[in-house]
Amino acid sequence: MTDLPKTPSFSLQGKRILVTGASSGIGLACATALAEAGGNTVLAARRADKLADAVKAMTAKGWTASALQMDVADVQDMQDKVARHGPFDVLVNSAGLARHSPAVETTPDDFDAVMNVNLRGAYFVTQAVARGLLEAGKPGSLINMSSQMAHVGGIDRAVYCASKFAVEGFTKAMALEFGPKQIRVNTICPTFIRTPFTEATFENPERVEWIQQKIKLGRTGVVEDIMGAVLYLASDASALVTGTSLMVDGGWTAD
């Protein structure tokens, strides 16, 4: 009889997981997917009340979840908390910030605010979780929530694009560095996902028309579109995947 291969497991039982930006939107969706798959999921964000509500909803379903109030832009405090509560087998770095404007109107304050969260915060939280894994001698999966805008340009999005292009760069470099220790580093690149974070864009008819022309599947995204992608990268199903970008963009970047 043919010896059939065994499908890799998507279960996260026994895995300790950190999700930043987990109080709403894509971050909350990621935390939900990973907790439902059996992961011991720590939801991190600045808003303690939102985190408490999310954790209450998850534990009511019998999942394992806890809250950690944390600002990724406060690097020292963040790294202290990661060290204290880790090591984490999986990181989903979903904390993000956007301040859109024409490039000629970008202010230094807007530039610094976006970079402090999207790039500096993302870099150092990835570093902190990787350090914990290296010290423990454990493998792991580090996932940075990037964007399709890390691969293309966007109207009024010069600073945001710059931050996300940079995330792609350090993700690839860290994947090379940590690969021999079986620590995988990847990004997920969503298209426009309807969340409170993106509502201003959807209120602009010109931007909506631009978005609809670009997305080949003919619809914008919802947070559920990201949940399967993050489960794949977090689990053993993606054991040979590192240093790459998983596009969840409805075909935007295909042409």
Q: Which two tokens stand for residue 213?
A: 């022309």
Report domain extents, the chain.
16-193+223-249
Catalytic choice (123, 160, 178, 192): 160
Q: What are phi and psi of 146, to 5 degrees?
A: -100, -135
| Mean pLDDT score across all residues of the chain | 95
pLDDT band, residue 45 (cuts 50/70/90): very high
pLDDT value at 204 more than 90: no
16-193+223-249 fold: Rossmann fold (3.40.50)
Active site includes 160? yes
pLDDT band, residue 191 (cuts 50/70/90): very high
115's enclosing H/E stretch is helix 108-115
Relative to beta strand 90-93, strand 40-45 is unpaired
pLDDT value at 117 more than 80: yes
Largest CA distance in the chain: 68
Q: What HEC string does 9-44 produce?
A: CCCCCCCEEEEECCCCHHHHHHHHHHHHCCCEEEEE
